[in-house]
Structure 1
Amino acid sequence: MSNFEERDNQNERKPLIYYWGLVMLGLFLLNIFIVPWAGSRQVQEVDYNTFVTMLGEGQVTAVEVQEQDNQIVFAGENGVYKTGMVEDPMLTERLLNADVEFSGQIIEQASPLVAFLVSWVLPMLLMYLFWRFISKRMTERMGGGEGSNAMSFGMTKSNAKVYVQSTEGISFDDVAGQDEAKESLSEIVDYMHNPDKYQSVGAKMPTGVLLVGPPGTGKTMLARAVAGEANVPFFSISGSEFVEMFAGAGAARVRDLFKQAKEKAPCIVFIDEIDAVGKKRSNQAIGNDEREQTLNQLLTEMDGFEGNTGVMILAATNQPEALDNALLRPGRFDRQVRVELPDLIGREEILKVHAKNIQHESNVDFNKIARMASGASGAELANIVNEAALRAVREGRQKANQEDFQESIEVVIAGAEKKNAILSDKEKMIVSYHEVGHALVAALQTHSAPVEKITIIPRTSGALGYTMQVSEGNDNLLSKEQLMDKLAVYAGGRAAEEVVFGSVTTGASNDIEQMTKIARAMITQYGMDNDIGMVTFEQNQSQYLSNGTNSSASPEMQSKIDRAIVELIQERYDYAKQLLTDNRTLLDSLSQHLYETETITGAEFMEILEKENKEDIVDETPVTT
Structure 2
Amino acid sequence: EREQTLNQLLVEMDGFEANEGIILIAATNRPDVLDPALLRPGRFDRQVVVPNPDIIGRERILQVHMKKVPLAADVDPRTIARGTPGFSGADLANLVNEAALLAARRNKRTVAMAEFEDAKDKVMMGAERRSMVMSDEERKLTAYHEGGHALVALNLEASDPIHKATIIPRGRALGMVMRLPERDQLSVTRAKLKADLAVAMGGRIAEEVIFGHEKVTSGASSDIQMATNMAKAMVTQFGMSDELGPLAYGDNEQEVFLGHSVTRTQNTSDETQSKIDSETRKFVDEGYQKAESIIRENLDDLHTIANGLLEYETLSGDEIEGLLKGDPPHRPEPTDTDSGPGALSAVPSVGKSKNVGDAKPQST
TM-score over 0.5 (shorter chain): yes
Pick the aligned partner of 1:387 from 98, 108, 124: 98
What is the CA-CA distance between 1:525 and the residue it aligns to?
0.6
Q: Relative to 1, partners in 2 of residues 1:375 and 1:479: Cα closer, same or farther, differing over 3 Å?
A: same
What is the CA-CA distance between 1:292 and the residue it aligns to?
1.3
What is the CA-CA distance between 1:372 and the residue it aligns to?
2.6
**The residue matched to 2:276 in structure 1 has which SS?**
helix
User: Are 2:197 and 1:481 aligned?
Assistant: no
Does structure 2 conserve the Cα–Cα contact (< 8 Å) formed by 1:432 and 1:456? Answer: yes
Distance 1:304 1:573 in 2: 63
Q: Which position in structure 1 is the counterpart of 2:323?
A: 608
What is the CA-CA distance between 1:300 and the residue it aligns to?
2.1
Q: Relative to 1, partners in 2 of residues 1:550 and 1:366: Cα closer, same or farther, differing over 3 Å?
A: farther
Q: Relative to 1, partners in 2 of residues 1:370 and 1:318: Cα closer, same or farther, differing over 3 Å?
A: same
Distance 1:429 1:524 in 2: 38
Q: Which position in structure 2 is the counterpart of 1:374?
A: 85
Query: How many equivalent residue pairs?
Result: 319
Higher relative contact order (CA 8 A, sep 6+): 2
Does structure 2 conserve the Cα–Cα contact (< 8 Å) formed by 1:494 and 1:508? Answer: yes
Q: Deviations over 1:433-482 (max 9, x none)?
A: 111111111111111111121111112x1111111222211211211001
Distance 1:526 1:551 in 2: 19
Map 1:312-323 onto structure 2 (within 5 A). Answer: 312-323=23-34
Does structure 2 conserve the Cα–Cα contact (< 8 Å) formed by 1:455 and 1:465? Answer: yes
**The residue matched to 1:494 in structure 2 has which SS?**
helix
Instruction: Name segments (4+ residues, structure 1) moved above 3 Å.
Output: 538-543, 549-552
**The residue matched to 1:315 in structure 2 has which SS?**
coil
Distance 2:101 2:155 in 1: 38
User: Are 2:80 and 1:364 aligned?
Assistant: no
Does structure 2 conserve the Cα–Cα contact (< 8 Å) formed by 1:435 and 1:456? Answer: yes
Map 1:20-35 onto structure 2 (within 5 A). Answer: none
AA matched with 1:488? A
Which structure 2 residue ranges, 5 or more long, are not aligned? Answer: 328-364
Q: Deviations over 1:291-324 (max 9, x none)?
A: 3122112112222653342121111111111111
Does structure 1 conserve the Cα–Cα contact (< 8 Å) formed by 2:308 and 2:323? Answer: no
Q: Deviations over 1:163-187 (max 9, x none)?
A: xxxxxxxxxxxxxxxxxxxxxxxxx
Q: Which position in structure 2 is the counterpart of 1:330?
A: 41
User: Are 2:8 and 1:291 aligned?
Assistant: no
Q: Deviations over 1:126-178 (max 9, x none)?
A: xxxxxxxxxxxxxxxxxxxxxxxxxxxxxxxxxxxxxxxxxxxxxxxxxxxxx
CA RMSD, Structure 1 to Structure 2 (Å): 2.1
User: Are 2:167 and 1:456 aligned?
Assistant: yes
Q: Which position in structure 2 is the counterpart of 1:597?
A: 312
User: Are 2:210 and 1:500 aligned?
Assistant: yes
Q: Relative to 1, partners in 2 of residues 1:471 and 1:553: Cα closer, same or farther, differing over 3 Å?
A: same
What is the CA-CA distance between 1:497 and the residue it aligns to?
0.7
TM-score between the two structures when normalised by the length of structure 1: 0.49
Distance 1:431 1:329 in 2: 56
Map 1:109-128 onto structure 2 (within 5 A). Answer: none
Point out the structure with max Rg over C-alpha: 1
Q: Which position in structure 2 is the counterpart of 1:399?
A: 110
Does structure 2 conserve the Cα–Cα contact (< 8 Å) formed by 1:541 and 1:550? Answer: no
Q: Relative to 1, partners in 2 of residues 1:474 and 1:305: Cα closer, same or farther, differing over 3 Å?
A: same
What is the CA-CA distance between 1:415 and the residue it aligns to?
1.8
Flag the structure with higher strand content: 1
Does structure 2 conserve the Cα–Cα contact (< 8 Å) formed by 1:522 and 1:529? Answer: yes
TM-score between the two structures when normalised by the length of structure 2: 0.82
Distance 1:335 1:305 in 2: 23
AA matched with 2:219? G
Q: Relative to 1, partners in 2 of residues 1:577 and 1:421: Cα closer, same or farther, differing over 3 Å?
A: same
Identity %: 46
AA matched with 1:384? L
What is the CA-CA distance between 1:555 and the residue it aligns to?
3.1
Q: Which position in structure 1 is the counterpart of 2:133?
A: 422
Which structure 1 residue ranges, 5 or more long, are not aligned? Answer: 1-289, 613-625
